[in-house]
Amino acid sequence: MKKTVKVPSVLDASKTYEYVDESPVQGGVKDVYFSPNRDYVVAFYRTPLEVDQKERIKRIVSTYLDNIQNGNASEYFIDEIFRWPYDIVQKDKLTGIVVPVYHKKFFFAKGYVGSDTIMGGDKVGKWFTSPMFRNQHYPLRLDRSELGDWLSYFQIAINISRGVKKLHQMGLAHSDLSYNNILVDPVTKSACIIDIDGLVVPKLFHPEVIGTADFIAPEVLRTKHLNIKDPDRKLPNQKTDLHALAVLIYMYLLRRHPLRGGKIWDLDSEKDELLSMGEKAIFVEHPTDTTNYVKPDHLKKWDAFWGDPKKVPYTITGPYLSELFRKAFIDGLHDPIRRPIANEWETALLKTVDLIQPCHNKDCAEKWYVFDNSNQPRCPFCGTPHQGTLPVLDLYFKFKDDVWKPENHRIMVYHNQYLFKWHVSKKVIRNENLTAEDKRPVGYFTFHQGKWVLVNQSLPSMKDVTEQKEIPPNSMVELTDGKKILLSDEEGGRLIYVTLANQ
């Protein structure tokens, strides 16, 4: 017979929570017990908390939870992006938090380590940032069906960026943003930020941890030796979150670390770590400083492709993300104020998704790649050239009467690709606040009888400006070189200019 224990809520004495008192899952600082029906867990800190630590957690499970629940897109953030604790309990001298269990999509259905299965294990982000786990000859292997494709990781990065954006909008910082504290499911393109109880409430409570190796900002490591109350000591904050966010996005898309190159600064491994990730940190793809370039002959055979920036340079992520990687790992690496904010990452990722093309090699592991703005594009992962013409649509907005300006945003067309409201109008922003109606396609592109066409499904005022012809719903227009198409004549409506590449 399983023994269940009841514990009262600290915030509301009339509430109690039950957990099964056996074989807790041990985390870094907490012991985790499941409720009898496994719909929540009670996680107890192993050591008694200080008064200010308890107060911080009380605010997280009340004030800040209320903020999210009563804010925009509350369902999206509570159900998808965060596993937010919703109460605090006390048993003797130990404090615990009540947290909803992870969604079943965040547990492996297959996979193995040597002869041992990982089925049922958490899909922590670390599993998906290293090429070795994908190699069929490596003793630890993830099942191909659970890895998704390259496009999956763009949506994962978008979700993480939105989560960080939300925390920062509330004045919070995660403090330990890393692939250990994010669950991902490439199949459904989902990401969930966990360990919310460690949030930093700026100017009220000191962070409990300085972060996880690989994701700690250089200024934190550089001043680690100073007393925690020293004004020169740098502790986790929103700017250090932004370093970790940039590292995460780089690792999900490029499957290597942006700072772990070939330079050894000290023969003592601990000192070398402090220098290479702190005071001496240098981007492994720095355009002018070769000090920390990767030495391909030092790579493990499992990492030979993704681990070598010359084979898979960061520029394959396209112009918008490349610019942010330069800002994060060159301009902002040692100057926190210059790091891109979460909203910049979200915007760049979304614009890059519009540049993505399907690979024509059905056996390509990544399936998708970013158009490289060349006349003869090819997949950087398997080398397969793009086949046939490729319509490039540049978006323009109406600056004033008869004056249209480019938006630095383009759509790379592929067969059966959808057109959405956020492409048609500047007034529809592609973010977490989109309604179900906003997410419905309003048109689609297809290769029909040897021609590229745009089919208008529901736009009332689409017009072929070049031919001065209306394009009513349920009709189509051919995409030819130099064609101008007005998507909407309403305020905020856009015009597209067509260029046919790869002719």
State the DSSP string of 338-352. Answer: GSPPHHHHHHHHHHH
Q: Residue 374 is which amino acid?
A: S
Mark the ranges of the chain whose per-residue pLDDT is less than 50: none
**pLDDT given at position 2:** 75
Would strands 190-193 and 356-358 be described as parallel, antiparallel, or unpaired?
A: unpaired
Rounded to the nearest 10 degrees, the angle between the axes of helix 150-169 and helix 342-353 is: 150
pTM recorded for the entire structure: 0.95
* Tally of CB atoms within 10 A around 115: 6
- The first and second tokens of residue 277, run together, are 């990730």
- For 163-226, strand residue ranges (E) read 182-185, 190-193
Within 8 A by CB and 6+ apart from 362, the residues are none
pLDDT digits (tens, 9 = 90+) for 195-245: 998 898 877 777 767 889 999 999 999 999 998 888 899 989 999 999 999
Q: What is the predicted pLDDT for the residue at 114? A: 56
Task: Please choose, from the candidates 464, 444, 440, 462, the residue with its C-alpha nearest in 3D space to the C-alpha of residue 453.
Answer: 444
DSSP assignment of 437-457 equals TTTS-SEEEEEETTEEEEEES
pLDDT tens by residue, 6-26:
999 999 989 999 999 988 888
| Per-residue pLDDT at 159 | 97
Record the tokens describing residue 388, joined without a space: 């046939």
Helices (H), 60-185: 65-69, 74-75, 150-169
pLDDT at site 42: 95
Measured distance CA(165)–CA(170) in Å, rounded? 9
How is 250-293 classified by DSSP, letter by letter?
HHHHHSS-SS--S----SSHHHHHHIIIIIT---TT-SS--TT-
* Rounded Cα gap, residues 318 and 426, in angstroms: 22
